[in-house]
Amino acid sequence: MVAALVLMPLLGALAAGFFGRLLGDRGAQIVTSGLLVASAVLSWIVFFDVALGHQAAYKVQLATWMSSGALQVDWALRVDALTAVMLVVVNTVSALVHIYSVGYMAEDPHVPRFQAYLSLFTFAMLMLVTADNLVQTFFGWEGVGLASYLLIGFWYKKPSANAAAIKAFVVNRVGDFGFAIGIFAIFFVFGSVSYDTIFAAAPAVAGKTFNFLGYDLDIMTTICLLLFIGCCGKSAQLGLHTWLPDAMEGPTPVSALIHAATMVTAGVFLVARCSPLFELAPVALQVVTVVGASTAFFAATVGLVQTDIKRVIAYSTCSQLGYMFFAAGVGAYEASIFHLFTHAFFKALLFLGAGSVIHAMHHEQDMRHMGGLWRHIKFTYAVMWIGSLALAGIPLFAGYFSKDTILEVAYAAHSGPGTYAFWLGSAAAAMTAFYSWRLLFMTFHGKARWAGHGHDDHGHAHTPHESPLTMTVPLALLALGAALAGMIFYDNFVGNLREVFWAGSIHVAAGNHVLEEAHHVPEWAKLLPLVLSLGGILVAFWFYILRPRLPVALAETNPLLYRFLLNKWYFDELYDFIFVRPAFALGRLFWKGGDGRVIDGLGPDGVSARVLDLARRAARLQTGYVYHYAFAMLIGVAALVTWYVYRIGVTS
Amino acid sequence: MNLEVLVFYLFASITVAAAVMVISARNPVHSVLFLILAFFNAAGLFLLCGAEFLAMILVIVYVGAVAVLFLFVVMMLDINFAELRQGFLQYLPIGGLIGVILLVELALVLGSWTILPSAGGVAAAQTPAIGDITNTDALGRILYTHYLLPFQLAGMILLVAMVGAIVLTLRARPGVRRQSISAQNARTKELAAELKKVSSGQGV
Amino acid sequence: MTAALSNDLVLAIPELILAIGAMALLLLGAFRGEGAAGLVNWAAVGVLALAAWATLAGTGEAPRLAFSRLFVVDDFARFMKLLVLLGAALTLPMARSFMARAGAERFEFGVLVLLATLGMLVMISANDLITLYVGLELQSLALYVLAAFLRDDAKSTEAGLKYFVLGALSSGMLLYGASLIYGFSGTTNFVDLAATLGHGDGTGPAIGVVVGIVFLSAGLAFKVSAVPFHMWTPDVYEGAPTPVTAFFAAAPKVAAMALFVRTMISPLGDLAPQWQQIIVFMAVASMLLGAFAAIGQSNLKRLLAYSSIGHVGYALVGLAAGGLQGVRGVLVYMAIYMVMTLGSFGCLLAMRRGGQMVERVDELGGLSRTNPMLAFVLAALMFSLAGIPPLAGFFAKYFVFVAAIDAGLVVLSVIGMLASVVSGFYYLRVVKVMYFDDAVGPLDRPIPLPVRLVVTASGLLTVLYFIVPAPLLVSAEAAAKSLMP
């Protein structure tokens, strides 16, 4: 069953990718969506069996991938509670996005290709979450990276989309490099890449050090930090986050699936999966906490001033991923995965809702050109509210349960990084609420600013219109999840039932009681996030409904801060200066100087030029004069005779 | 020093001097005449060796036929030899160098002249003693027996030369009347002449 | 007629057939006049075929001497004679239509080819320096005339004259070398030479003998057009009528190479350490010059001339290696080379546009579209000449290089392979022009039948050689063995 679940998306991808023309647009949509829905149903069954039904974790051995000396890598599917949760998240969102895309991409000329990429991505993601060993994880890891690249650059005729795709790929390479070295290090230390073997052997390695360039480094810390570099790349954590906002160049369903719900959470998943290792590396955990908290805060600040509707949500995603990481960093992996779970629903909802808005606006994404839309697209308006409420962590909605738990565990950690995370996280919560409602107000309320901004001249009337059923039904389902997922699963994920629910798939060290302690934090710490969120909403209301001129005035009075935020803390400029331009310069040096002048010059070009010179000279010998020819013969004979006379003279 | 040696050096030095003059004389006719002189002296050298047949052949063939033909050609074709020799000085240094090198080396070779010890027994062909038999006789015997194959092949070479000469030069020129002996012989009196009766006093 | 003489004559039957045939056809032509050209041409092919048939008699027997040991018949001679006869027999029919168009259809052409071939057979069977020289002269003289056969064409005349003058010089050198060798060893016979030179007193050969060998090999190198005695080749190949050039590149080259090999291996075999250096030098120089000088050529005949210089270099690699393997390499090389070169010239003869021969490389533009079959064969031949597997040319190079490496001449082989890479440039340029350049225009049709047959046959042999390589290898091996003492 699990094998079928994993392979069906691949089947869909192959069918739509290679026989897309045969199937036609409609056929490709039906095949891929049908297979994905089936796969989603299966994954819910697995979830009920394994996670809720407490069936023992099991493994499905498919084949041997490689066997070389000590290196044994299998194609194997590992099914435990963590995997089951991820399966549900991935397949549910993916199935809904597949269906949603039917409506969203209706006018695109490359529908089969799009559906094939989506299914390919889903397959890779499933390989990632079901992997039984690090190499297979890495396979899925790179697979999703590839699919992400293909989908960001789906509209390959747009230069900005191509640039964004390349950027995403290159930045992810940096992280993947760390991940790969981490895998090498693990194989070097443990002699295996299989999770079970590694986890069993890990405690014996804890605290041991190795010498590197004269420094004694802790082995587990090093390994975990290397793995975390990979996570940073994939999950867009501070430093390697720059690709995520640009990735919004892809079609909106892609943003919802890959850049909100699933792929970007792969890093969080990996940390949870490797919790037996991270639990042995406290220093690494502290780094995770600090990086996560900083990301949460940083992305929230940038989200305050963005005007592109998708970019706001993208920074929000970045920020929420920061929450997940610092939750894991303080040792509450369950809370982290819980937030991943709920976040998948409401963030996919927000993206798809934004997609619906964009669809209604004929591919206009700038919020400054929207406004007053709620009258035209009431359904979308409603689901956006639900998504925002969940995101802001308003009680009863999904985000409330997961996010508050995270802030509580951060407080309860009683450590320097934990406190840092708590305060930054709380501030980010306020900002999250602010920019969410800023988005709602700018988009749906106020004056309609879209007159004359109908884009893409494609023949319908230029008034906003509600999306078709294929788009609204997935929205409704996701809204349901965003509203209820937190309430329903709270006890199972982080509440009293958590130990039977996870059944050891997440390892928590014996002395780690942070989740337990989280239930006993002071009242003010519990209430603070809620108060801040409500405050954020009120400020947004004040800024964008009551005093619409205020934000502008504020931006004018604080130009430095505004520009700083608008330019995303100048990360891109900094990277451009430090890495991109030197890399280009170096590349140009090697290309023009190294390759062109040295290698080509001395190699092919130089040799061929010399050959031509020689050829010309050789041809010039042929003067046509008989006496020259005769002379050449005589010289030849004389030379040979001289050679022999000399040689015999020497020898005798 | 007996007379024979004296004569040898006489002939030899004149031969070499004449050969130098052949290539250095300004007038091509003089060149050919010097060539004839060289031939005569070479024939003299042959005579000294007792090879009277070769000496006579040399005079008859080379002087009587080849050199005279040369003379004819040179005199009939107005070739400007001065022009042909223009590049001579230009190439003199390097040509001289090569020549000197080869000369020195060949001198070395001759200086070390020793018939290989193992070569004593194998003479190419048994030559009868001079005096038993005349030159001509001896040559004929060996040519038609031992060297039958090269001799016949030399005949083929001459045939090729003849064919080649004809191929390259013989052409049927239009507008040239040739003598046709058979046509002449086939002519009868009736064809050649016609008798007409002419009445006297009237004219033709 | 004594029994000994009749015995000698039996051994020389192929030569006799050619000699008598040539004279008979000469008479026929003389009596029948110019109209007999076609008849003489075909009759000459018949004579060649008859001679080839006679050559095959006695295959596998031990070497036999004749005519006072001036003449030898062994498997080596038979192998090379068959190649020569084949080369001659294939060029004759191809020449007819060309000569007819050039207005030079004369019966002497066939006769001269027969006489030249006779000279070649004598060269191949020469067992004495005198036979060697006489055979060489017979061949050369006929070739001089053939080169100048289009006597009203300035280029052809020039080619004949240049060939003649330089050939005379080379003959002089050869005679000088032969006389030096005779002077030091007292004999001109190959058997006696081998005996005399083989029994040195341990001090090495006299310097005079070595100098003699240098001059002798200079004369022979001229005939196979090895550097630095190659200078005549491009001019003569370009100037001579195309069928004559084809003949030059095929038959005389094989014969001269046979003579070269026999002279070096048989009488001078014990002096291999001495002459090996000459051959190595010539091989290296020929391969490099053949590779480099051809690059700048725009005339196909000139290009093929340099190509033939290069190929002689490769064949000389085999000779430099010496031994059974080396000689076998040379034999295989010459056989394959002859097939390829005949095919290439056949292609040249097949190409005529607006009544003019196509001789320039750029005139081949777009041939793959106007004459796909011809372009394919020419491309295959070019690839083969460049030595690209699995075509025949690759095997030719392979065997000589293997022999050279076994003989310890690794540097020579490496130079050869590098030269082969460089030479790939101009062979592939021809292919590129045919397949990727703009079409110049269709060729005249029809292509004469004999030309078509030769081109097809050589194309097939080149492409499919790798399927049945054994017969050639086996017979070459037997031929090489008969030469070994």
Instruction: Kindly report the average pLDDT of chain C as a whole number.
Output: 90
The domain total for chain C is: 1
Work out the mean pLDDT of chain A and round it to a whole number: 87
Structure tokens given for B116: 């290989």
Bond before C446 cis per omega within 30 degrees: yes
pLDDT digits (tens, 9 = 90+) for B94-144: 888 888 888 888 887 777 766 655 555 555 445 666 667 888 888 888 888
What local confidence, expressed as pLDDT, does residue A361 receive?
82
Question: Chain B contacts of C189, Cβ < 8 Å?
Answer: 122, 124
Give the three-state DSSP class for A218: strand
> For residue A458, what pLDDT band results from cuts at 50, 70 and 90?
very low
Q: Do A638 and B98 touch (CB under 8 A)?
A: yes
Of C118, C186, C207, which is closest to B108 when you measure between CB atoms? C207
Query: What digits encode the pLDDT tens for the residues A322-337?
Result: 999 999 999 889 999 9
From residue C431, give the alpha-carbon distance in Å to each of A550, C278, C424.
Answer: 76, 35, 11
Chain segment C177-199, per-residue pLDDT in tens: 999 888 888 888 898 888 887 75
Q: Which residues of chain C make contact with A643, given a CB cutoff of 8 A?
A: 277
Q: Residue A366: beta bridge partners?
A: A308
CA distance B97 to chain A (A): 10
Q: What is the mean pLDDT of residues A409-417?
A: 88
Neighbours of C (≥3 Cβ pairs closer than 8 A)?
A: A, B
Identify the band that residue B204 occupies on the pLDDT scale cut at 50, 70 and 90: low
C283 assigned to some structural domain: no
pLDDT on residue C305: 93
Residue the block writes with tokens 């110019």: C34
State in words which class domain B1-80 has: mainly alpha
Q: Helix or strand or coil: residue C140?
A: helix
Contacts of A287 (CB under 8 A, 6+ apart): A225, A228, A329
> Which pLDDT value is given to residue B88?
67
DSSP characters over A140-189:
HHHHHHHHHHHHHTSSTTSHHHHHHHHHHHHHHHHHHHHHHHHHHHHHHH
A552-589 pLDDT, tens digit each? 888 888 888 888 888 888 888 888 888 888 888 888 88
Separation between Cα atoms, residue C289 and residue C313, nearest integer Å: 9
DSSP C415-464: HHHHHHHHHHHHHHHHHHHHHHSPP--PPPSPPPHHHHHHHHHHHHHHHH
Q: How far apart are CA A30 and CA A419, in angstroms?
A: 50
Residue with tokens 């290159």: A170
**Contact status of A646 with chain B (Cβ, < 8 Å):** no
Counting one residue from chain A and one from chain B, the pairs whose CB atoms sit within 8 A come to: 20
Residue A455 banded pLDDT, cuts 50, 70, 90 = very low
Under the banding of pLDDT at 50, 70 and 90, the label for residue C332 is very high
| Interface chains of chain A (3 or more CB pairs under 8 Å) | B, C
Q: Which of B160, B168, B171, B173 would best serve as a mutation to test chain C binding (most C beta carbons within 10 A)?
A: B160
- Residue A509 pLDDT: 80
CA A286 to chain centre: 22
Mean pLDDT on C439-446: 84
pLDDT at position A454: 47
Nearby residues of A566 by Cβ (< 8 Å), 6 or more positions away: A305, A306
Q: Catalogue the long-range contacts made by C471-474 (C-beta closer than 8 Å, 24 or more residues apart).
A: C472/C332, C472/C335, C472/C336, C473/C328, C473/C332
Least confident stretch, A418-432, B159-173, B183-197: B183-197
Is A465 exposed, middle or buried (CB count within 10 Å of its CB: 0-12, 13-18, 19+)?
middle
For C483, the domain range is 291-485
Residue matched to tokens 């320039």: C360
Of A627, A631, A642, the CB nearest to B105: A642
Structure tokens at C365: 């533009």
Closest CA to C252 of C108, C394, C138, C414: C138
Cβ within 8 Å, pair A642-B108: no
Please give the Cα distance from A162 to A143 (Å, whole number).
18
In whole angstroms, give the CA distance from residue A573 to residue A565.
13
Considering the domain boundaries, does residue C481 fall inside one? yes
Locate the domains of chain B by residue range. 1-80
DSSP C298-356: -BHHHHHHHHHHHHHHHHHHHHHH-HHHHHHHHHHHHHHHHHHHHHHHHHHHH-EETTE
CB < 8 Å to A638, chain B: 98, 101-102, 105
**Percent of chain B predicted with pLDDT > 70:** 84
The owner of tokens 């895998």 is A183
Query: Hey, are the CB atoms on B109 and C195 less than 8 Å from each other?
Result: no
Q: What is the pLDDT of residue B129?
A: 65
Q: How would residue A452 be classed by pLDDT, with cut points 50, 70 and 90?
A: low
Nearest CA in chain B to C157: B168
CA distance B178 to C9: 44
Residue B82, pLDDT score: 67
Higher pLDDT, A611 or A395: A395
User: Which of C111, C148, C196 is nearest residue B168 as measured by Cβ atoms?
Assistant: C148
Residue A273: Cβ within 10 Å count = 29
Q: What is the pLDDT of residue B117?
A: 56
pLDDT confidence of residue C201? 52
**Residue A515 pLDDT exceeds 80:** yes
The percent helix, strand, coil of chain B (3-state, each to 5) is 70, 0, 30
pLDDT for the residue numbered A258: 86
Query: What pLDDT score was predicted for residue C169?
Result: 93
A292 vs A270: CA distance, rounded Å: 15
Instruction: Tell me whether B123 touches chain C (CB under 8 Å).
Output: yes
**CA-CA distance, B44 to B38, in Å (whole number)?**
10
pLDDT score of A459: 44
Find the mean pLDDT for residues A498-517.
83
**C428 occurs within a structural domain:** yes
Mean pLDDT of all residues in B67-91: 77
Handedness of CA B101, B102, B103, B107 (dihedral sign): positive
Question: How confident is the model over C86-144, as pLDDT tens digits?
Answer: 999 999 999 988 988 888 888 999 999 999 999 999 999 999 999 999 999 999 999 99
Contact: B150, C130; criterion CB under 8 Å: yes
**What residues contact C241, with CB distance under 8 A and at least 6 apart?**
C95, C98, C99, C102, C104, C149, C150, C153, C156
Residues of chain B contacting A642 with CB distance shorter than 8 Å:
101, 105
pLDDT in tens, A132-153: 999 999 999 999 999 999 999 9
Q: How far is C239 from chain B (nearest CA, A)?
A: 16
Does some domain include residue C243? no
pLDDT over 90 at B155, yes or no: yes
Residue A270 above 50 pLDDT?
yes
What pLDDT is attached to residue C459? 93
Q: What is the pLDDT of residues A82-96, one digit of tens each?
A: 999 999 999 999 999
pLDDT digits (tens, 9 = 90+) for C186-233: 888 898 888 887 755 555 667 788 888 899 999 999 999 998 899 999
ipTM here: 0.91
Band of the pLDDT at B146, cuts 50, 70, 90?
Answer: confident
Instruction: Find the mean pLDDT for residues A170-183.
Output: 91
Residue A72, Cβ density class (10 Å: 0-12 exposed, 13-18 middle, ≥19 buried): middle
Q: Closest residue of A to C212, CA-based?
A: A641
Please state, as a whole number, how many other Cβ atoms lie within 10 Å of the Cβ of residue B61.
12
- Report chain C residues whose CB lies below 8 A from the CB of A651: 204
